[in-house]
Amino acid sequence: MTIHDSTASAPDAPPGSAESRHEVCIVGTGRVGLPLGLTFVETGVSAVGLDVDKELADLVNEGVMPFHEPGYDEIIASRRFHVVHDPSVVTRAETIIVTVGTPLHNHIETDLTQVQDVLESIGEHLRPGQLLCLRSTVAPGTTEFVERWIRRNTDLVVGETFFLAFCPERIAEGKAYEEIRTLPQIVGTQDAASEARAVALFRRITREVLTTDYVTAELVKLFNNILRYVHFALANQFAMIADNFGANIHETRELANHGYPRSFLAAPGLTAGTCLRKDFGMLNEWSPYPDMLLSAWKMNEFMPTFLVDHLCRRTDLHDSRVAILGFSFKADTDDLRDSLAPKLWRYVRRQLPDEIRISDQNLPDPIPEPSIRDARNWPISEALEDVDAVFVATNHTGYHEALRELARTRPDAWVADIWNVGRVNQMFYQAKALDMAEANA
Ligand SMILES: NC(=O)c1ccc[n+]([C@@H]2O[C@H](COP(=O)([O-])OP(=O)(O)OC[C@H]3O[C@@H](n4cnc5c(N)ncnc54)[C@H](O)[C@@H]3O)[C@@H](O)[C@H]2O)c1
């Protein structure tokens, strides 16, 4: 590993347009590609986007962020970053950065379709001297596959007439603006010329660039994510163990972590989201044996079942009015992908309640989730009116205040609060417990 440290300032920004030559072309301008493209433009690197999603491109070209990612409103409104649909745009770029989706198939199997489609569409437009950076999260060996694809389908030779790197994105959604500039960038290459090109590019936006080979860089990204996935699974298992013994997981955790330098127990929660859930599959597809990753997956997947089952041991949801607060996969995002909330909804539905009211201030109405068919997105005050039971599926800002109001209006309503937003330090309680918790605080 070599560390490249630079504080050199970026050059002045050239005016950008879809037609001009660009230093960078971002292929796939979604939640990763768009913030990256905008960051390049803001730091003076001319960039253009290529995406197959016309609706997304129209919004970006009108100067509007198509999803929630704070910090970019001004730069996108300046319309210095355009998104086009014509793959020939890559010919006019010095560097092509691929940030398309890499989901899993229904099986434990990486779905490489988007990466393969990109190669098919841009392949004929690649030219000597360009650098291709793969930045989507990929299974080990994928960059090697891309190199072989280039060798087989073009006249370009990686390391001689063409340059290739794997440079993973490690931002957390909602923190892209800060993290793209502050996280060390990893550059995985197999030859010195590709390394020099990729390092020079990422030095334009960040201070620290670390270099290694393809597969190490691929594994760094996966290990970063899967470490969190397993860590949260353990926190969830500890929460269930504590509940079995009638103990309080939040108090136990606080005591375990407080002033003890070797404890970093995470809080329990509904652990999912497109990255954590699928990235475990990218490693697991290469192992036929039961292992810790599979156990973590099962543990995290079990949490909706656990919450419904254990609330039902305390109150009957049959013919009741149930509210689910939060539906996106994590706090304060509008990203529904791979959220466990729809699964929670389906388990609640099996209890035959009178009504299930979903409320998520960050999502549109109706909730765009096919498996729950046209579910209305309720304003939170209406969702909690005369409600019998509440599941806090996501810990969005504002839910503590909403539960305090519930304690006033429906003190006997049951709450399943794995995130501890009520600060009652219990996973299952009646709303009036918020008053007691406050009095004891
Ligand atoms: N979302 C995150 O927080 C995050 C963080 C780190 C890494 N990643 C990884 O980054 C990658 C992208 O994730 P995302 O969340 O931005 O996905 P996304 O779905 O938001 O964006 C992908 C974009 O690629 C476009 N696309 C698909 N096929 C295309 C093609 N053939 N040509 C051009 N554009 C095409 C899609 O229309 C979409 O806009 C994934 O591998 C993901 O695992 C995501």
- Measured CA to CA, the distance from residue 164 to residue 271 in angstroms comes to 34
Domain hosting residue 110, numbered range: 2-212
Per-residue confidence band for 1, with pLDDT thresholds at 50, 70 and 90: low
Could you tell me if 211 and 194 are in contact, meaning their C-beta atoms sit under 8 angstroms apart?
A: no
Same domain, 425 and 279: yes
In this structure, of 37-51, 140-154, 176-190, 269-283, the range with the lowest mean pLDDT score is 269-283
Number of domains in the chain: 2
* Together in a domain, 199 and 256: no
**Helices marked H in 167-316:** 176-182, 192-203, 214-244, 249-257, 274-284, 292-312
Q: For 92-142, write each residue's pLDDT tens digit.
A: 999 999 999 999 998 889 999 999 999 999 999 999 999 999 999 999 999
Q: What is the pLDDT of residues 322-373, one digit of tens each?
A: 999 999 999 999 999 999 999 999 999 999 999 999 999 999 999 998 888 8
Q: What's the rounded Cα separation, in Å, for the pair 434 and 423?
A: 7
283 and 318 both lie in a single domain: yes
In a domain, 222, yes or no: no
Do the domain assignments include residue 218?
Answer: no
Considering the domain architecture, whether residues 157 and 207 belong to the same structural domain is answered as yes
Q: What pLDDT is stored for residue 428 in this prediction?
A: 95
Q: Is residue 329 part of a domain?
A: yes
Distance 288 CA to ligand 1 centre (A): 28
Q: Rg of the Cα trace of the chain?
A: 24
| Residue 371 confidence (pLDDT) | 85
Residue among 53, 47, 135 at smallest CA distance from 92: 47
In what order do the strands lie in the sheet containing 389-392? 355-359, 321-325, 389-392, 414-416, 428-430
User: Is 164 a domain residue?
Assistant: yes
Asked which of 261-265, 295-299, 360-364, 435-439 is least confident by mean pLDDT, the reply is 435-439
Question: Of the candidates 212, 240, 275, which is a domain's last residue?
Answer: 212
Comparison of pLDDT for 421 and 277, the residue scoring more: 421
Whether residues 233 and 376 share a domain: the answer is yes
**Residue with CA closest to ligand 1 atom 33:** 51
* Judgement on whether residues 169 and 303 belong to the same structural domain of the protein: no
Q: Which ligand 1 atom sits closest to the C-alpha of 172?
A: 3
Q: Is residue 219 part of a domain?
A: no
Cα-Cα end-to-end distance for the chain: 50
Residue nearest ligand 1's atom 12 by CA:
101
**pLDDT tens sequence across 386-400:** 999 999 999 999 999
Distance CA 360, CA 232 (A): 23
Q: Note whether 236 and 203 are same-domain residues.
A: no
SS3 248: coil
Q: What CATH number does residue 307 fall under?
A: 3.40.50.720
**What percent of the chain is predicted at pLDDT more than 90?**
86
Q: Report yes or no on 68 lying in a domain.
A: yes
Amino acid 403: pLDDT: 97
Among 37, 345, 83, which Cα is nearest to 205's?
Answer: 37
Single out the residue in 163, 181, 212 at which a domain terminates.
Answer: 212
How far apart are alpha carbons 340 and 52 in whole angstroms? Answer: 28
Q: CA-to-CA distance for 342 and 317, rounded, in angstroms?
A: 17
333 and 384 within one domain? yes
Under 8 Å CB-to-CB from 246, ≥6 apart: which residues? none
Q: Are 388 and 274 in contact (CB under 8 A)?
A: no
Digit-coded pLDDT (tens) for 52-71:
999 999 999 999 999 999 99
Give the chain's mean pLDDT: 93
pLDDT class for 287, splitting at 50, 70, 90?
Answer: confident
Q: Evaluate whether residue 234 is within a structural domain.
A: yes
Pocket test for ligand 1, best of 31, 104, 138, 185 (most atoms within 8 A of CB): 31
- 19 part of a folded domain: yes
Q: Tens of pLDDT along 9-27?
A: 334 334 445 567 899 999 9
Residues 158 and 232 in one domain: no
Same-domain check for residues 266 and 404: yes
d(CA 371, CA 274): 16
Q: Within this chain, do residues 307 and 336 fall inside the same structural domain, yes or no? A: yes
Q: Do residues 97 and 49 share a domain?
A: yes
Pairing of strands 2-5, 208-212: antiparallel
Ligand 1 pocket, residues with Cβ under 6 angstroms: 27-33, 50-53, 56, 99-102, 114, 117-118, 121, 136-137, 169, 171, 173, 275
The pair of three-digit structure tokens given for residue 5, joined into one six-digit string: 């440290």
Question: Rounded to the nearest 10 degrees, how much is the dihedral formed by the CA atoms of 309, 312, 318, 320?
Answer: -120
